[in-house]
Amino acid sequence: METQSNKLAICSFNCRSVKNSEHEIHQLCNVYDLILLQEHWLLPNVLGILISVHPDFMSVAHSAVDISSGLLTGRPYGGTAILYRKSLSQFVTRVISSNPRITSVILETDVGPVLIVCVYMPTNYGNAECHEEFIATCAHVPCMLNAVLYTSLLRVTLIVSMVRIFMSHLLNLLMITICVSRTAGI
Protein backbone atom coordinates (compact mmCIF):
# COMPACT_ATOMS: atom_id res chain seq x y z
CA MET A 1 0.00 0.00 0.00
CA GLU A 2 1.55 3.26 -1.08
CA THR A 3 0.30 6.50 0.40
CA GLN A 4 1.71 9.99 0.11
CA SER A 5 2.95 10.12 3.70
CA ASN A 6 3.03 6.36 4.34
CA LYS A 7 0.97 7.00 7.46
CA LEU A 8 -2.51 5.81 8.25
CA ALA A 9 -4.79 7.84 10.52
CA ILE A 10 -7.37 5.80 12.46
CA CYS A 11 -9.98 6.89 14.99
CA SER A 12 -12.80 5.34 16.98
CA PHE A 13 -16.10 7.11 17.54
CA ASN A 14 -19.19 6.09 19.51
CA CYS A 15 -21.66 7.99 17.37
CA ARG A 16 -24.89 7.05 19.22
CA SER A 17 -26.83 7.15 15.94
CA VAL A 18 -25.31 7.84 12.54
CA LYS A 19 -28.38 9.87 11.66
CA ASN A 20 -27.82 12.23 14.61
CA SER A 21 -24.04 12.49 14.20
CA GLU A 22 -23.63 12.54 10.42
CA HIS A 23 -21.92 15.95 10.50
CA GLU A 24 -19.35 14.80 13.08
CA ILE A 25 -18.64 11.61 11.13
CA HIS A 26 -18.21 13.63 7.93
CA GLN A 27 -15.66 15.84 9.73
CA LEU A 28 -13.79 12.74 10.96
CA CYS A 29 -13.68 11.49 7.36
CA ASN A 30 -11.92 14.72 6.38
CA VAL A 31 -9.11 13.93 8.84
CA TYR A 32 -8.85 10.13 9.17
CA ASP A 33 -8.34 7.23 6.77
CA LEU A 34 -10.29 4.68 8.84
CA ILE A 35 -13.10 5.43 11.27
CA LEU A 36 -14.32 2.71 13.61
CA LEU A 37 -17.91 3.38 14.66
CA GLN A 38 -19.88 1.98 17.55
CA GLU A 39 -23.62 2.38 18.18
CA HIS A 40 -24.61 3.43 14.67
CA TRP A 41 -28.17 2.26 15.47
CA LEU A 42 -28.93 1.23 11.88
CA LEU A 43 -31.26 -1.56 10.82
CA PRO A 44 -29.71 -4.29 8.63
CA ASN A 45 -31.59 -3.07 5.55
CA VAL A 46 -30.22 0.50 5.80
CA LEU A 47 -26.51 -0.14 6.44
CA GLY A 48 -25.89 1.20 2.93
CA ILE A 49 -26.42 4.78 4.10
CA LEU A 50 -22.97 4.64 5.70
CA ILE A 51 -21.36 5.13 2.28
CA SER A 52 -23.36 8.33 1.80
CA VAL A 53 -21.82 9.98 4.87
CA HIS A 54 -18.76 11.04 2.83
CA PRO A 55 -18.15 10.69 -0.92
CA ASP A 56 -14.57 9.43 -0.43
CA PHE A 57 -15.48 6.58 1.94
CA MET A 58 -16.77 3.00 1.83
CA SER A 59 -17.88 0.84 4.75
CA VAL A 60 -18.34 -2.58 6.28
CA ALA A 61 -20.87 -2.86 9.06
CA HIS A 62 -23.01 -5.04 11.30
CA SER A 63 -26.43 -4.20 12.65
CA ALA A 64 -27.30 -5.36 16.15
CA VAL A 65 -31.04 -5.14 15.43
CA ASP A 66 -32.85 -8.40 14.75
CA ILE A 67 -35.67 -7.77 12.27
CA SER A 68 -36.35 -11.44 11.47
CA SER A 69 -39.74 -11.36 13.21
CA GLY A 70 -40.86 -8.48 11.00
CA LEU A 71 -41.78 -6.44 14.07
CA LEU A 72 -39.49 -3.81 15.52
CA THR A 73 -40.25 -2.63 19.03
CA GLY A 74 -38.44 0.30 20.60
CA ARG A 75 -35.65 2.20 18.91
CA PRO A 76 -32.75 0.70 16.96
CA TYR A 77 -29.60 0.09 19.01
CA GLY A 78 -25.96 -0.99 18.85
CA GLY A 79 -24.10 -1.87 15.71
CA THR A 80 -20.46 -1.52 14.62
CA ALA A 81 -18.88 -0.30 11.41
CA ILE A 82 -15.56 0.53 9.81
CA LEU A 83 -15.45 3.37 7.30
CA TYR A 84 -12.39 3.53 5.05
CA ARG A 85 -11.18 5.72 2.21
CA LYS A 86 -12.11 4.51 -1.27
CA SER A 87 -8.45 4.86 -2.21
CA LEU A 88 -7.74 2.01 0.27
CA SER A 89 -10.48 -0.29 -1.05
CA GLN A 90 -8.11 -2.54 -3.01
CA PHE A 91 -6.19 -3.16 0.24
CA VAL A 92 -9.21 -3.84 2.48
CA THR A 93 -10.82 -7.25 2.96
CA ARG A 94 -13.84 -7.76 5.17
CA VAL A 95 -13.53 -10.42 7.88
CA ILE A 96 -16.81 -12.27 8.37
CA SER A 97 -18.12 -12.21 11.93
CA SER A 98 -21.31 -13.66 13.35
CA ASN A 99 -21.20 -11.23 16.28
CA PRO A 100 -22.87 -7.85 15.57
CA ARG A 101 -20.70 -6.28 18.28
CA ILE A 102 -17.61 -6.91 16.15
CA THR A 103 -16.71 -5.59 12.72
CA SER A 104 -13.25 -6.22 11.32
CA VAL A 105 -11.16 -5.89 8.19
CA ILE A 106 -7.72 -6.96 7.06
CA LEU A 107 -5.70 -4.09 5.65
CA GLU A 108 -2.82 -5.06 3.36
CA THR A 109 0.14 -2.80 4.14
CA ASP A 110 3.80 -2.51 3.13
CA VAL A 111 4.73 -4.54 6.23
CA GLY A 112 2.06 -7.18 5.73
CA PRO A 113 -1.61 -7.66 6.62
CA VAL A 114 -3.06 -5.83 9.62
CA LEU A 115 -6.27 -6.97 11.30
CA ILE A 116 -8.37 -4.02 12.44
CA VAL A 117 -11.19 -4.88 14.83
CA CYS A 118 -13.97 -2.60 16.04
CA VAL A 119 -15.64 -3.97 19.19
CA TYR A 120 -18.59 -2.61 21.12
CA MET A 121 -18.75 -4.18 24.56
CA PRO A 122 -22.11 -4.93 26.22
CA THR A 123 -23.61 -2.83 28.98
CA ASN A 124 -23.50 -4.13 32.53
CA TYR A 125 -27.05 -4.43 33.80
CA GLY A 126 -25.84 -6.63 36.66
CA ASN A 127 -27.46 -9.86 35.50
CA ALA A 128 -26.21 -13.21 34.23
CA GLU A 129 -27.28 -12.52 30.63
CA CYS A 130 -25.04 -9.42 30.46
CA HIS A 131 -22.16 -11.34 31.98
CA GLU A 132 -22.55 -14.13 29.41
CA GLU A 133 -22.74 -11.66 26.53
CA PHE A 134 -19.59 -9.93 27.79
CA ILE A 135 -17.69 -13.24 27.95
CA ALA A 136 -18.99 -14.29 24.52
CA THR A 137 -17.85 -10.99 22.98
CA CYS A 138 -14.43 -11.27 24.60
CA ALA A 139 -14.09 -14.89 23.41
CA HIS A 140 -15.16 -14.09 19.85
CA VAL A 141 -12.18 -11.84 19.14
CA PRO A 142 -9.42 -14.44 19.79
CA CYS A 143 -11.44 -17.07 17.88
CA MET A 144 -11.74 -14.75 14.90
CA LEU A 145 -8.05 -13.90 15.22
CA ASN A 146 -7.11 -17.59 15.17
CA ALA A 147 -9.15 -18.11 12.00
CA VAL A 148 -7.45 -15.16 10.32
CA LEU A 149 -4.00 -16.30 11.49
CA TYR A 150 -4.69 -19.70 9.96
CA THR A 151 -5.23 -18.19 6.52
CA SER A 152 -2.86 -15.22 6.54
CA LEU A 153 0.58 -14.05 7.56
CA LEU A 154 -0.88 -11.45 9.88
CA ARG A 155 1.62 -8.94 11.24
CA VAL A 156 -0.36 -6.74 13.59
CA THR A 157 -3.75 -6.73 15.25
CA LEU A 158 -5.34 -3.45 16.22
CA ILE A 159 -8.33 -3.83 18.49
CA VAL A 160 -10.36 -0.74 19.17
CA SER A 161 -13.04 -1.28 21.74
CA MET A 162 -15.72 0.95 23.14
CA VAL A 163 -15.06 -0.36 26.64
CA ARG A 164 -17.90 -0.20 29.07
CA ILE A 165 -17.20 -0.66 32.73
CA PHE A 166 -18.16 -4.21 33.51
CA MET A 167 -16.46 -6.61 35.89
CA SER A 168 -13.07 -4.98 35.52
CA HIS A 169 -10.85 -3.39 32.96
CA LEU A 170 -8.44 -6.26 33.53
CA LEU A 171 -10.61 -8.61 31.51
CA ASN A 172 -10.51 -6.22 28.55
CA LEU A 173 -6.77 -5.80 28.99
CA LEU A 174 -6.37 -9.58 29.13
CA MET A 175 -8.37 -9.99 25.91
CA ILE A 176 -6.23 -7.43 24.10
CA THR A 177 -3.01 -8.91 25.50
CA ILE A 178 -3.97 -12.41 24.35
CA CYS A 179 -4.74 -11.16 20.84
CA VAL A 180 -1.58 -9.09 20.49
CA SER A 181 0.59 -11.85 21.96
CA ARG A 182 -0.93 -14.42 19.63
CA THR A 183 -0.39 -12.17 16.62
CA ALA A 184 3.20 -11.44 17.55
CA GLY A 185 3.86 -15.17 18.06
CA ILE A 186 4.75 -14.66 21.72
pTM > 0.75: yes or no = yes
Q: 100 CB contacts (<8 Å, ≥6 apart)?
A: 62, 63, 64, 78, 79, 80
pLDDT at position 141 over 90 = no
C-beta of residue 88 within 8 angstroms of C-beta of residue 1: yes
Is 4 inside a domain boundary?
no
* Residue predicted with more confidence, 126 or 39: 39
CATH number at residue 21: 3.60.10.10
Instruction: Give the number of domains in the chain.
Output: 1
pLDDT at position 95 over 60 = yes
C-beta of residue 122 within 8 angstroms of C-beta of residue 137: yes
pLDDT digits (tens, 9 = 90+) for 31-46: 999 999 999 989 898 9
* Residue predicted with more confidence, 32 or 178: 32
Query: Number of helices (H) and strands (E), helices first, in the chain?
Result: 3, 8
Is 21 inside a domain boundary?
yes
| CA–centroid distance for 43 within its chain | 16
Is 46 inside a domain boundary?
yes
Domain range for 155: 10-184
Hey, CA dihedral for 179, 120, 122, 14, is it positive or negative? positive
Backbone torsions φ then ψ of 127, nearest 5 degrees: -120, 170
